[in-house]
């Protein structure tokens, strides 16, 4: 039987097999070819680029080549002219194309795919067709050379050295925010891809915007459904900028990568700035941040999810659906005077609190904590206050104390007996505001989101104090006072000794 008869069924079944070759070490038959194809399989693998089943380029490869095409289309007319094709060839292969070669390339494309060439030059369709043709003919090194020249690694993502991690070196209680330059770039991108000019990016428009990235960064947790959308699923400008602020807060490296994928070509350091430490904000009694992260605590069925839904404009639902795992919501909040800040709310399920607080630095990223309870259920109030004490104690012990607010949800229901007395007592004991009544069902927010931002802007206020914390502070004051008395006593003794020595010296001189 021939080698082809043996291997063809196997290669049909296992599409990942790229090459089958017959050799003999004894007779030195095709030994160099074995090593050549082995190297080729490692250096220029087929699997990341080409789907053998569908005989087409893989989505991530298409996205990378589309970005490269756009970068090379310097006049932005949607086609690579002869001069642009030549510049591309020189950049990737360090050799220019002869005029006859350019004509030949376009002729091949036009014969197989007429829409691949127009009067301005080679279109994106033609560019992708050429690479599919190279791969089908076994010339994978051509496509891999192009990808690597433009900074892509074997996973067809930008190499790590092109995404400087030093840009994001920070203390646990510092965060990363977009600069005005980056925000302005994103505004322009938003309007560019809002094709129907309805003030929102529909799903198809958003997919088009991220079509030069390996995948849409907001299609999964923690960004999916975290921003406000209209009835058609469109993302407003505020929602769009909120998602970017959210991603920059949680994963600045991903934010940088996606900025570059969609066309940001300035110095990466110009797109981000590191905020001042929260500890220093407390000392200065003011925060200058533009993005605030709020941790939302509370027992089950207290109304935490309704709070997050309200932030992003979702309709209230009477149906209770327990939240499994943490959830985020982000939106722009307008303050008096037209000042806009971004609020990112992070819902922490009751059974996840212990895990969260097991990390010493877990509250370092928190600008403000909100504790939600069902105002009609006494047990809900008790659990919320227990969580408040746990979080406050953790803050006192770790040094990452955070402002806290209590939210009395479901204000449309009758409060449980003694609710007012209990809330007043806890607020006075811990030194924080009385609970803020809200009803998401009646859309009565009581300016809650503004109040959250305002409290976060003044991080020295609204910090709860536990009994253990008060005792520690009192003990430290006593110790400091004792040390002060000892220091004063020691100073008096030193001064007295010095005076005595002067007196003794004068007495000896006079005698």
The reported pLDDT for the residue numbered 389 is: 95
97-123: pLDDT as tens digits: 899 999 999 999 999 999 999 999 999
Nearest 5°: the CA angle 205, 208, 211 is: 155
Rounded to whole angstroms, the maximal C-alpha distance in the chain is 129
pLDDT of residue 494: 61
Which residues make Cβ contacts (< 8 Å) with residue 145, sequence separation at least 6?
A: 92, 93
Location of structure tokens 């892509």: 152
Rounded Cα gap, residues 133 and 116, in angstroms: 13
Phi, then psi, of 437 in degrees rounded to 5: -75, 135
Averaged confidence pLDDT in the chain: 90
What tokens were used for 42?
Answer: 């490692």
Report d(CA 494, CA 440) in Å as an integer.
68
Angle between helices 140-149 and 59-72 in degrees, nearest 10 = 60
* pLDDT-above-90 percentage for the chain: 75
Per-residue pLDDT, averaged over 413-428, amounts to: 92
pLDDT in tens, 156-182: 999 988 888 777 899 999 999 999 999
Question: According to the model, what pLDDT value does residue 381 have?
Answer: 96
pLDDT at 15 over 80: no
Of the pLDDT bands very low, low, confident and very high (cuts 50, 70, 90), residue 40 is confident
SS3 90: helix
Higher pLDDT residue, 321 or 82? 82
Mapped onto helix, strand or coil, the DSSP state of residue 482 is helix
What digits encode the pLDDT tens for the residues 246-256? 999 999 999 99
Q: The tokens 């001189």 sit on which residue?
A: 509
- 68-72 mean pLDDT: 96
Residue 216 in this model has a pLDDT that exceeds 60: yes
**61 pLDDT higher than 90:** yes
pLDDT at position 484: 64
Mean pLDDT of 474-492: 59
User: Is residue 309 within 8 Å of 316, Cβ to Cβ?
Assistant: yes
Average pLDDT over residues 119-146: 93
117 strand-pairing partners: 122
Tell me the average pLDDT across 257-278: 93
DSSP category for residue 196: T
- pLDDT, residue 259, reads 96
Return d(Cα 363, Cα 294) in angstroms, integer: 10
Considering only residues 499 and 290, tell me which one the structure prediction assigns the higher pLDDT: 290
DSSP classification of residue 334: E
Confidence of residue 510 (pLDDT cuts 50, 70, 90): low
**Per mean pLDDT, which range of 63-67, 366-370, 501-505 is the poorest?**
501-505
pLDDT by residue (tens digit) across 438-464?
Answer: 999 999 999 999 999 999 999 999 999
The DSSP code sequence of 384-408 is: HHHHHHHHHHHHHHHT----EEEEE
Q: Residue 18 burial by CB count (10 A; 0-12/13-18/19+): exposed, middle or buried?
A: middle
Confidence tier at 126 by pLDDT (50, 70, 90): very high
- Assess contact for 323 and 222: CB atoms under 8 A: no
DSSP-derived secondary structure letter, 416? P
Going by C-alpha positions, the residue among 293, 323, 324, 299 that lies closest to residue 311 is: 293
| pLDDT for 217 | 95
What is the arithmetic mean of pLDDT over 260-274?
92
Using the predicted structure, report yes or no on whether residue 137 has a pLDDT greater than 90: no
pLDDT digits (tens, 9 = 90+) for 312-360: 998 888 888 888 889 999 999 999 999 999 999 999 999 999 999 999 9
Q: How many helices (H) and strands (E) does the chain have?
A: 18, 15
Q: What pLDDT score was predicted for residue 485?
A: 59
Task: Give yes or no for residue 482 having a pLDDT over 90.
Answer: no
Q: What angle do CA 35, 39, 42 make, to 5 degrees?
A: 145
* 79, containing H or E segment: strand 79-80
For residues 65 and 59, the answer to whether their CB atoms sit within 8 Å is: no
Q: Is the pLDDT of residue 492 over 70?
A: no
Q: Say whether pLDDT at 507 is over 80.
A: no
* Cβ-based burial of 461 (10 A; exposed 0-12, middle 13-18, buried ≥19): middle
Lowest mean pLDDT among 259-268, 305-314, 334-343, 493-502: 493-502
Q: Where in 98-160 does DSSP place strands (E)?
A: 117-118, 121-123
Round to whole Å and give the CA distance between 81 and 92: 16
């Amino acid at each position: 039987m021939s080698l082809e008869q043996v291997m063809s069924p196997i290669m049909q079944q296992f599409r990942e097999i790229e090459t089958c070759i017959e050799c003999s070490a004894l007779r030195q038959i095709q030994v160099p070819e074995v090593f050549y194809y082995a190297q080729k399989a490692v250096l220029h693998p087929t699997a990341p680029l080409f789907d053998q089943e569908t005989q087409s380029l893989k989505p991530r490869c298409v996205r990378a080549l589309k970005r490269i095409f756009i970068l090379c289309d310097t006049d932005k007319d949607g086609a690579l002219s002869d001069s642009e094709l030549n510049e591309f060839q020189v950049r990737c292969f360090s050799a220019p194309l002869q005029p006859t070669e350019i004509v030949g390339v376009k002729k091949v494309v036009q014969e197989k795919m007429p829409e691949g060439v127009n009067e301005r030059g080679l279109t994106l369709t033609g560019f992708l067709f050429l690479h599919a043709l190279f791969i089908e003919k076994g010339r994978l090194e051509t496509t891999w050379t192009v990808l690597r020249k433009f900074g892509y690694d074997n996973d067809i993502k930008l190499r790590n050295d092109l995404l400087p991690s030093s840009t994001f070196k920070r203390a646990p209680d510092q965060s990363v925010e977009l600069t005005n330059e980056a925000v302005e770039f994103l505004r322009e991108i938003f309007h560019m891809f809002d094709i129907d000019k309805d003030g929102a990016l529909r799903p198809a428009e958003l997919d088009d915007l991220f079509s030069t990235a390996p995948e849409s960064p907001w299609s999964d947790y923690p960004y999916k459904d975290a921003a406000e959308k209209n009835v058609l699923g469109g993302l407003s400008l505020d929602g769009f900028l909120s998602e970017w602020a959210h991603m920059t807060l949680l994963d600045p490296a991903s934010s940088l990568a996606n900025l570059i994928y969609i066309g940001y070509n300035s110095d990466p350091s110009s797109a981000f700035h590191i905020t001042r430490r929260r500890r220093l904000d407390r000392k200065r009694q003011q925060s200058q941040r533009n993005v605030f992260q709020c941790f939302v605590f509370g027992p089950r069925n207290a109304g935490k999810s309704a709070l997050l839904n309200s932030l992003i404009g979702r309709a209230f639902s009477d149906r209770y659906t327990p939240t499994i795992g943490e959830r985020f919501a982000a939106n722009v909040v307008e303050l008096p005077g037209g000042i806009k800040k971004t609020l990112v709310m992070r819902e922490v399920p009751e059974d996840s609190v212990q895990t969260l607080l097991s990390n010493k630095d877990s509250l370092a990223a928190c600008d403000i904590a909100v504790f939600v309870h069902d105002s009609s259920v006494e047990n809900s109030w008790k659990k919320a206050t227990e969580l408040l004490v746990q979080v406050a104690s953790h803050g006192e012990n770790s040094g990452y104390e955070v402002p806290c607010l209590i939210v009395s949800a479901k204000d449309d229901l009758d409060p449980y007996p003694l609710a007012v007395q209990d809330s007043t007592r806890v607020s006075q004991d811990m030194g924080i505001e009385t609970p803020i009544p809200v009803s998401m069902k009646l859309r009565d927010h009581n300016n809650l989101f503004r109040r959250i931002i305002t409290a976060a802007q003044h991080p020295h206020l609204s910090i709860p104090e536990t009994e253990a914390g008060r005792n520690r502070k009192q003990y430290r004051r006593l110790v400091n006072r004792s040390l002060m008395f000892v220091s004063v006593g020691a100073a008096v003794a030193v001064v007295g000794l010095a005076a005595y020595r002067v007196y003794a010296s004068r007495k000896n001189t006079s005698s």
